[in-house]
Structure formats: structure tokens, C-alpha cells
Amino acid sequence: MPDLDSIWARPRAKRWLNFAYVYAAHLLHLLLDVSPWFVRNAAWRLLLGGCGKGVFFDHRVYVKFPWLVSIGDDVSINRGVEFYCSLRERSRIRIGSNVRIAPNVRFHAAGHDPDHPDLADNGADIVVEDGAWIGAGSLVLQGVRIGRGAVVAAGSVVTRDIPPNCIAGGVPAKVLRERRTDHASS
């Protein structure tokens, strides 16, 4: 079997290998989407690089390279969430514990170098620390760290790190204010 570097050097072979993998992954995702929640959760627990207790996976969750994604305890991953890692660059997505990910959030730890003549693959890890909340329809790009307890407003495009316990939003996302966490429990 040829090594990966020889495949990356041959664009046609790389393209066909990607087509075959994406087709197989699509079939798996279709099967998971029609499965009951306990089957879907068990399958993701087996496929992911790490998965804690109490993780909920809604329908239509897409993970391109599951072994490059790890998730902590008590995480909610809503419908339509997508995870894209870079196989070539081995970029990973790490989600901490007690994280809430709203519907249709996308994590892109993979990309292309716009200055390279062939738009070569590149990537960098994405880290979401414990207690963060990512709002609906947000896009988190490669190399970003979202701090502990941070909140990302719906529809934001996160291109830079978000500090702990801050609320960030916009395109590109900017810190809007610190969280007020002094509320008494009801």
C-alpha cells in the first residue's frame, strides 16, 4: 500500500480517494440519521477520537474525520452541526465539557493556503473550552480557541480566539462584553 505522501503528490489519486471516503461517510451519516438517539450516540462514541459521558448528538450531525474530533462530558450537539478536520495536516477539533452547540454550527479546522499556487491543504486545531456556548449558525475557523464559559452569538464567524467568560458576536466575531455570571440560582 502506498504511503499518504505519495498519494498527496498525485492530485488525481488524492481526488479519487477523497471521493470514495466521502461516499462511504455519506452512507454512514444517512444510516445514523435514521437511527434512534441511543444507536446514534453509541456509534459516535465508537467513531470519535474521544467522547465523554452524557453527550447528545441530534440528527444530521456531520463529522468528516471522526477520529480527529474529541468531545468532553455533558455536551449537547444540535441538529445540522458539522465538523471538518484536515487529514493532511492532522488538525483536530477538541470540545470541552458542558459545552452547548446550537443548530447548524460549523467547525472548519481545515482549509487551503490562498498563497500557494495549488491552494495546498492547511489546517490548525480548534479548541472549545469547558462551559462555552456556540450560537446557531456560527462558523468557527481553523486555529481558534474559544475560552472557558465564552458565548458566541448566533451567526458569528469566529476567526480569532475568544477570551474566557466573554460574549462575542459579528462577522468577524469581536468581544462584545464580559458575561455577568453573578446570578443567584433559582
CA–CA distance, 126 with 110 (Å, rounded to integer): 10
> What is the total count of domains within the chain?
1
- SS3 of residue 40 by DSSP: helix
Reported as a single tens digit per residue, the pLDDT across 36-72 is 989 999 999 999 999 999 999 999 999 999 999 999 9
Q: In this predicted structure, what is the pLDDT of residue 119?
A: 82
For residue 30, is it within any domain?
no
Residue 4 has pLDDT above 70, yes or no: no
Q: What is the CATH number of the domain that holds 141?
A: 2.160.10.10
Q: Which domain holds residue 66?
A: 37-178
Q: What mean pLDDT is predicted for residues 127-140?
A: 98
CA–CA distance, 40 with 55 (Å, rounded to integer): 11
For residue 126, is it within any domain?
yes
The yes-or-no answer on residue 183 being catalytic is: no
E strands within 15-80? 50-51, 56-57, 62-63, 69-71, 76-77
For residue 164, is it within any domain?
yes
For residue 70, is it within any domain?
yes
Residue 88 has pLDDT above 80, yes or no: no
**Strands laid side by side in the 56-57 sheet:** 56-57, 76-77, 100-101, 133-134, 151-152, 166-169, 174-178
CA–CA distance, 23 with 75 (Å, rounded to integer): 28
For residue 78, is it within any domain?
yes
Strand 69-71 and strand 50-51: pairing?
parallel
For residue 28, is it within any domain?
no
Residue linked to cell 461517510 = 25
For residue 20, is it within any domain?
no
- Choosing from 29, 108, 112, 116, which is the catalytic residue? 112
For residue 144, is it within any domain?
yes
